[in-house]
């Protein structure tokens, strides 16, 4: 039986009310499958609505397959079986979502940069300029590898500051290094074996596992990743951080770089060079990139802007060697560029107009000063003679090795006082392989005065604190 009661005071259009009632009647079985429905004219006159209102409702029901019309015979309910609920209602445990704000009093984790250091007003000004100049082309599909003018600007930047000679055509812009890394895996295949540093940046392994790639973990020595270990594996693609190893802070030696390149030349092998923080080198010049030394097209260079601008900027690029360019274009060019046209233009101006260089010089001085404050505060403290500092020549973090305490004690005592920092062992596949009693502390995301307080609080926690919760 079809019953329709219209509510003329409702905001819901009349045709939609009719549609909804009939749909419900058919879904619930009140109108049986193949049962004839009243003609549009009869229903309109019965409901005291216009014929076109009923026609619109019937048209919608027909478009969705709830009714069928037969020539000269009218409308019939379609055969709709009820939808069962096969599982009990779901009550998932929802994760409490963490915001960017740290719950800790002092947070020495390494993924923080100083938002105050970023020249936000310049970025805002350039964005306004792009928006006010930008016409149609801001809305057109961008070329999949990214805005050509941005890639030209990056090629010029690499020439000037990294001594790399690359064509804009080799550069691919993407929304973060993680995304670009998934593209590289699609390019090189997920069946070949990937080598990663141990210890190393955990996300690299997570991405490889998520894409089901075989992974070999390679120990890191004083010279860089272990070549003898590498040669005992069947690794075909190696991910490395040669300019500044994460987290140990080691610079791969010139000799080891050559050995790695020779290893790659010895087969159809590739090296993914993750140059995440080469700009922040406090003693001397940035270490030359492996990609600069590579004459045989074996190195894919990846660079994120998250570390040099701010983590919220989802822009990174990779430089493909010429050996892989045709393959990339043939197989992966169908992926649309993942970065908005507006931000690509703003970044082009930010680099091209010299703001990036100035920002980097400023940040380098700022972070160097903070590093010095960190070290000085430690050295002058009561624990000064018991703390060995290393990995401090570059980057935004350093390592602290403390005599007479275990890593667990170091982390737990700090946490008891609201201070967050990570032990070195978490970056190892087998935590037992790590140097004992060593923690990692990021110092970039701090104001000077607060950093002094934080380090002092940390020392106090270690000196006097308890590990009991």
Least distance CB 402 / its own copies (angstroms): 26
Least distance CB 201 / its own copies (angstroms): 11
Binders of its own copies in range 429-458 (CB under 8 A): none
3 state DSSP class of 424: helix
Q: Given the complex with its own copies, which of 65 and 384 has the nearer CB atom?
A: 65
Least distance CB 383 / its own copies (angstroms): 28
Alpha-carbon gap, residue 292 to 301, rounded angstroms: 10
Q: Given the complex with its own copies, which of 298 and 413 has the nearer CB atom?
A: 298
Binders of its own copies in range 7-36 (CB under 8 A): 16, 19, 23, 26
Residue reference for tokens 């390149």:
261
Please answer whether residues 427 and 247 qualify as being in contact, where contact means their C-beta atoms are separated by less than 8 angstroms: yes
Binders of its own copies in range 143-172 (CB under 8 A): 143, 145, 148, 167, 169
Q: Does 310 bind its own copies (CB under 8 A)?
A: yes
Alpha-carbon gap, residue 66 to 34, rounded angstroms: 10
Helices (H), 381-447: 407-416
Q: Is beta strand 215-221 parallel, antiparallel or unpaired with respect to 194-198? A: parallel
| Binding segment (CB under 8 A) for its own copies, from list 271-279, 321-329, 395-403, 454-462 | 321-329
| Binding segment (CB under 8 A) for its own copies, from list 46-54, 204-212, 375-383, 395-403 | 204-212
Binders of its own copies in range 275-304 (CB under 8 A): 283-285, 287-288, 293, 295-297
Q: Given the complex with its own copies, which of 71 and 139 has the nearer CB atom?
A: 139
- Residue 331 to residues 85, 167, 185, 222, 337: CA-CA distances in angstroms? 42, 20, 12, 39, 14
Least distance CB 381 / its own copies (angstroms): 28
Q: Given the complex with its own copies, which of 251 and 441 has the nearer CB atom?
A: 251
Q: Given the complex with its own copies, which of 206 and 408 has the nearer CB atom?
A: 206
Going by C-alpha positions, the residue among 269, 246, 241 that lies closest to residue 256 is: 241
Q: Does 70 bind its own copies (CB under 8 A)?
A: no
Going by C-alpha positions, the residue among 265, 268, 269 that lies closest to residue 294 is: 265
Alpha-carbon gap, residue 457 to 451, rounded angstroms: 10
Going by C-alpha positions, the residue among 187, 138, 137, 123 that lies closest to residue 318 is: 187
Please answer whether residues 250 and 391 qualify as being in contact, where contact means their C-beta atoms are separated by less than 8 angstroms: yes
| Binding segment (CB under 8 A) for its own copies, from list 154-162, 205-213, 352-360, 429-437 | 205-213
Binders of its own copies in range 103-122 (CB under 8 A): 111, 115-116, 118, 120
Q: Given the complex with its own copies, which of 127 and 467 has the nearer CB atom?
A: 127
Enter the tokens of residue 467: 């590990």
The arrangement of strands across the sheet holding 224-225 comes to 171-174, 316-319, 299-304, 270-274, 237-240, 194-198, 215-221, 224-225
Enter the tokens of residue 8: 């003329």
In the list 323, 453, 456, 467, the residue contacting its own copies (rule: CB under 8 A) is 323
Enter the tokens of residue 342: 């507006």
- Residue 246 to residues 88, 252, 256, 288: CA-CA distances in angstroms? 46, 12, 17, 17
In the list 161, 335, 355, 390, the residue contacting its own copies (rule: CB under 8 A) is 335
Please answer whether residues 56 and 85 qualify as being in contact, where contact means their C-beta atoms are separated by less than 8 angstroms: no
Q: Given the complex with its own copies, which of 312 and 449 has the nearer CB atom?
A: 312
| Binding segment (CB under 8 A) for its own copies, from list 63-71, 350-358, 417-425, 459-467 | 63-71
- Cα of 212 vs its chain's centroid, Å: 19
Binders of its own copies in range 378-397 (CB under 8 A): 393
Binders of its own copies in range 394-433 (CB under 8 A): none
Q: Given the complex with its own copies, which of 442 and 465 has the nearer CB atom?
A: 442
Q: Examine residue 64 and say whether the peptide bond preceding it is cis (omega within 30 degrees of 0).
A: no
Binders of its own copies in range 219-278 (CB under 8 A): 223, 251-259, 261-262, 265
Q: Does 79 bind its own copies (CB under 8 A)?
A: yes
In the list 64, 165, 376, 463, the residue contacting its own copies (rule: CB under 8 A) is 64
Enter the tokens of residue 27: 């879904």
Least distance CB 182 / its own copies (angstroms): 6
Least distance CB 169 / its own copies (angstroms): 5
Q: Does 210 bind its own copies (CB under 8 A)?
A: yes
Q: Where are the beta strands (DSSP E) in 132-225?
A: 171-174, 194-198, 215-221, 224-225
Least distance CB 260 / its own copies (angstroms): 11
Enter the tokens of residue 269: 């092998």
| Binding segment (CB under 8 A) for its own copies, from list 75-83, 409-417, 427-435, 460-468 | 75-83
> Residue 87 gets which letter from DSSP?
S
Q: Does 312 bind its own copies (CB under 8 A)?
A: yes
Residues in binding contact with its own copies, number by CB under 8 A: 120
């Amino acid at each position: 039986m079809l019953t329709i009661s219209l509510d003329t005071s409702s905001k819901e259009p009349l045709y939609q009310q009719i549609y909804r009632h009939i749909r419900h009647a058919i879904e619930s079985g009140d109108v049986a499958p193949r049962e004839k429905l009243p003609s549009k004219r009869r229903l309109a006159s019965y409901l005291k609505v216009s014929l076109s209102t009923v026609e619109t409702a019937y048209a919608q029901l027909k478009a969705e397959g709830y009714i069928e019309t037969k020539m000269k015979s009218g409308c019939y309910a379609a055969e709709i079986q009820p939808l069962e609920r096969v599982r009990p209602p779901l009550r998932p445990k929802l994760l409490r979502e963490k915001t960017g704000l740290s719950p800790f009093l002092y947070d020495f984790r390494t993924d923080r940069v100083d938002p105050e250091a970023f020249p936000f007003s310049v970025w805002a000004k350039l964005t306004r300029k792009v928006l006010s100049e930008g016409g149609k082309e801001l809305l057109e599909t961008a070329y999949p590898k990214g805005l050509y003018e941005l890639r030209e600007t990056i090629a010029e930047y690499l020439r000037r500051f990294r001594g790399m000679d690359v064509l804009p055509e080799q550069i691919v812009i993407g929304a973060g290094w993680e995304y670009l890394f998934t593209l590289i895996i699609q390019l090189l295949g997920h069946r070949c074996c990937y080598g990663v540093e141990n210890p190393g940046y955990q996300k690299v392994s997570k991405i490889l596992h998520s894409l089901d790639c075989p992974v070999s973990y390679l120990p890191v020595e004083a010279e860089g990743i272990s070549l003898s270990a590498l040669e005992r594996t069947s690794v075909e693609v190696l991910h490395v951080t040669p300019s500044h190893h994460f987290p140990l802070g080691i610079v791969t030696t010139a000799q080891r770089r050559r050995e790695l390149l020779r290893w790659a030349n010895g087969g159809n092998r590739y090296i993914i060079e993750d140059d995440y923080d080469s700009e922040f080198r406090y003693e001397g010049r940035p270490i030359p990139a492996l990609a600069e030394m590579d004459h045989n097209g074996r190195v894919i260079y990846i660079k994120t802007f998250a570390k040099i601008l701010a983590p919220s900027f989802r822009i990174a690029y990779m430089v493909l060697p010429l050996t892989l360019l045709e393959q990339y274009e043939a197989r992966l060019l169908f992926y649309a560029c993942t970065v908005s046209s507006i931000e690509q233009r703003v970044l082009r101006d930010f680099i091209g107009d010299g703001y990036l260089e100035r920002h980097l010089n400023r940040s380098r001085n700022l972070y160097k000063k903070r590093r010095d404050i960190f070290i000085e505060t430690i050295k002058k403290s009561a624990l000064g003679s018991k703390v060995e500092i290393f990995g401090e020549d570059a980057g935004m973090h350093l390592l602290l090795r403390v005599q007479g305490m275990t890593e667990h004690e170091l982390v737990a005592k700090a946490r008891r006082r609201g201070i967050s920092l990570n032990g070195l062992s978490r970056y190892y596949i087998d935590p037992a392989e790590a140097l004992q009693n060593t923690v990692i502390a990021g110092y970039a995301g701090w104001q000077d005065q607060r950093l002094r307080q934080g380090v002092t609080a940390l020392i106090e926690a270690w000196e006097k604190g308890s590990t009991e919760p």
